[in-house]
A and B are shown apart, each in its own frame.
Chain A
């Protein structure tokens, strides 16, 4: 008799009404995959526990739950943890590696949607579209000539981080005639020559950018990377765009900077605390466009993200290295290979 691979989803994939919050045609692929069965965890937990994952071969985790060393105590079954995105700031990767669990992410699914989101913010902010929209709706037609847009030709577009998403953003920005600069300690000049980016230091990207976008992961070196000192260095006419992770920016200081005009405005998709409290003063500012960490949720993303996760699961079931594997070293561990072999035999 053959076993089925048990795939678990963290509870935060369901909203209060029990609807799946990241639907998409790709999800069907996963559900209909032969030899698998699916389950949503019974409760939302801030930190995953061994009890929660007991009996599961594969787990798909959203953003809420933390994964630490404690999550895997005594577990010798779980093969992999999958993220429907690229950020894994709530996952302790060395702990996973120690426990012989693979971490898989989906860079190909987020690359274009997040880059489009950044361009949406840049264009909406530079045209002052929201202000114009609100004034027109309020019948203040003639007021608007006090609110000219800002042209993009010759302006400087800067990025903190120019990996998967940052690179794509510069590709989209090409026909808008801006100068491209970026700071990223892990990327060489040659890697960004094709999108006409000049690699610079942090100080330069802060002081010279008219539009400064953040596209780096959140980790201990990037937490509050943008604080008072950095915001003070930016041009008073500059816009800050954050579609990466909220805690990369010191939100209290950003709010102050926007109120006091250290910078001109911001486009913010991510917050230090999510959901952000309704009384967050950042939400009250006129020079900010805010969205709910959801700018990525497009039909394109919702299709490809589940396709990729389904492919990762299928690769694991066939004993292949899955796409988007973060901790490659796990694969070669004998304990992991033994666990994988046992799994493959069971589902035969």
Chain B
């Protein structure tokens, strides 16, 4: 007997991270509301439109949810995005078409905050340069590397974006004795203060900080928020950390800033183009620590994320409001009731 609802995933073949390759966790949640979960590999918008025409819900990782796609899927009620950011979704188009956009805003707060602190400490301690020197048998030089650089001592951490991850990062950094500045036009001043963050303007944050860490969403407003002008305002001894989205930063400007020593180094989990091109100069620099957009991934966080994604889609299908709607002004295609 056919299931009552159809839920789909329509990603490109090579974009799905291995940890998301299987969908048992999501399927189990959906089976409880008599929904089936189907994956169709789609390379283009047209393929998505063709494959998903009967879908009640889409679970998306990177699949492009453009206005064109959304207008061509009349049955679609909800898009659930695996994670916090939703830069692959045209939010206005979703709203205009009565499609709920749901994200999972709390799945990896600890993980990203921990990765940020790990990058900060590893950069400030030149951990990998020392490790590399040691593994090549250069003890004396390795010992000297450390002597030339700073530690998290009477230093300032600047957080661009003071949402949940920014605030969690602030909490962890405080114990190390950092003074914490934040730039975020949308966060409440007293909420920031509660987390030990002093809100300032972007130029002041850049000028004062020994570490600048980005925790914003990627949208029209934050695209290339950090470019040449901003890097020039940073201290030459400062480090730049990005664990949010690559395109918040003008990567060419970042490369120039590092090559011309406007700043001391960088820790990057995200890039403008992902997977990052193997000849990207950022991969060759000794003062840059890189990772492949995975800092949110721990065994536990992935499991949690999959469960939440499945549950949120299931909620909408049985006529309940999901826990986190991004486009709050949307008029859903079906009647939804609030869970108490």
Contact = CB atoms under 8 A, between A and B. Distances in A.
A237 B130 CA distance: 25
Interface string B154-190: 1000000000000000011011110000000000000
Contact of A149 (B142, B153, B295): B295
B125 A127 contact: no
B110 A284 contact: no
Nearest to B304: A151
A291 B134 contact: yes
B259 interface: no
Contact of B297 (A120, A142, A145, A173): A145
A252 interface: no
B307 to A, nearest CB: 15
B276 A146 contact: no
Interface in A152-169: 152-153
Which among B143, B145, B299, B300 has the greatest number of chain A C-beta atoms within 10 A?
B143
A23 B121 contact: no
A275 interface: yes
Which among A16, A21, A137, A302 has the greatest number of chain B C-beta atoms within 10 A?
A137
Given A275-B139, A289-B127, A127 B275 contact: no
B131 A278 contact: no
Contacts of B119: 129
A154 to B, nearest CB: 9
B149 interface: yes
A136 B115 contact: no
Contacts of A16: 140
A145 B175 CA distance: 31
A117 B152 CA distance: 11
A278 B119 CA distance: 27
Contact of A124 (B127, B140, B284, B294): B127
Interface residues of B, number: 64
Contacts of A21: 143-144, 147
Contacts of A274: 139
A113 B177 CA distance: 12
A136 B110 contact: no
Contact of A142 (B17, B127, B175, B290): B17
B91 to A, nearest CB: 28
Interface string A112-153: 110011011001101101101101110101101110111111
Interface in A297-334: 297-302
A298 B289 contact: no
B218 to A, nearest CB: 19
B118 A129 contact: yes
Q: Size band of the A side of the interface?
A: 35 or more
Given A130-B128, A176-B114, A292 B295 contact: no
A301 B20 CA distance: 45
B19 interface: yes
Given A291-B134, A298-B151, A298-B153, A126 B294 contact: no
Contacts of B154: 300
Given A151-B110, A175-B172, A290 B134 contact: yes
A149 B143 contact: no
Interface in B276-328: 276, 278, 283-284, 289-292, 294-295, 297-302
A293 interface: yes
B146 interface: yes
Contacts of B11: none
B135 interface: yes
Contacts of A130: 128, 131
Contacts of A123: 114-115, 117-118, 121-122
A34 B125 CA distance: 35
Contact of A294 (B147, B278, B298): B147
A289 B283 contact: no
Interface of A: 15-16, 21-23, 112-113, 116-117, 119-120, 123-124, 126-127, 129-130, 132-133, 135-137, 139, 141-142, 144-146, 148-153, 171-177, 274-279, 283-284, 289-295, 297-302
Interface of B: 14, 17-20, 110-111, 114-115, 117-119, 121-122, 124-125, 127-128, 130-131, 133-140, 142-147, 149-154, 171-172, 174-177, 274-276, 278, 283-284, 289-292, 294-295, 297-302
Given A21-B144, A120-B122, A278-B138, 4 more contacts: A116-B125, A120-B121, A148-B302, A290-B135
The 7 closest A-B pairs by CB, nearest first: A278-B137, A298-B151, A275-B139, A123-B118, A141-B275, A139-B278, A300-B153
5 contacts: A15-B144, A127-B115, A151-B301, A298-B124, A300-B153
